[in-house]
Amino acid sequence: MSFVSALLQSMPRRTHATAETEDGLARHLFKAGEVLRSLRVQLRHGQLSRAPLRLLRLQVVDDVVECDWLARRPDAWDASLSRSVQQRNASLQALRDAIDVRAMLFDVLPQVDRARMRVYRISDDCTRQLIINGFSNRGDRVSHKVHSLAMRAKILGFSFNLESDILHELTGEEHLEARS
């Protein structure tokens, strides 16, 4: 039994309305825990980087989920490769992760119809750079005939600046474009 469920079970029930509110809170807490466990297990290692994703924020309000995370750093085994190859691998991994996190959010949270996702990267000067911004609906689908990873991400509602297979920081105009 988890700490949260033990705590909720030990709380006295006053009225029927209070019990429904507490049960609703418990369900939301359990769903949030399920999302966190899924992120930890399913996305522990990427295909191009063994570094973990780092969740910054997860918020569910009504039928909307918002999720922000830090992209994986380039893999330690890529250290002998050129910086551009390291950045390329990290960028492609970030796009794959964005698509996978989107799918996982909709799978784990059936009451959610819309998702807002932001992916940040830590820059050389230790600041966060927004590299992927996404707004997606549960019904958004991509045909299996679309092989381009970047095109799949675009169709699913992600905005990003990809040049020579390297993600660059989104500018103010791209922030506004992604919100529409």
Q: Say what the pLDDT of residue 49 is.
A: 59
Judge whether 17 lies within some domain.
no
Judge whether 147 lies within some domain.
yes
H helices of the chain, in order, are 3-10, 16-42, 83-108, 149-155, 172-179
- Claim: this prediction has a pTM higher than 0.85: no
Judge whether 23 lies within some domain.
no
Judge whether 119 lies within some domain.
yes
Judge whether 172 lies within some domain.
yes
Domain count, the chain: 1
Rounded CA separation 133/69 (Å): 11
> Amino acid identity of 65?
V
Chain segment 22-31, per-residue pLDDT in tens: 567 777 677 7
Centre a 10 Å sphere on the Cβ of residue 99 and count the other Cβ atoms it contains.
Answer: 18
Decide: 51 and 79 in contact? Cβ < 8 Å.
no
Report CA-CA distances (Å) from 21 to 3, 16, 29. Answer: 19, 9, 12
Judge whether 78 lies within some domain.
yes
Q: Say what the pLDDT of residue 156 is.
A: 96
Judge whether 18 lies within some domain.
no
Decide: 121 and 98 in contact? Cβ < 8 Å.
no
Q: What's the start-to-end Cα distance of the chain, in Å?
A: 44
Chain segment 128-152, per-residue pLDDT in tens: 999 999 999 999 998 888 999 999 9
- For 139, the domain range is 43-179
Judge whether 174 lies within some domain.
yes
Q: Say what the pLDDT of residue 22 is.
A: 57
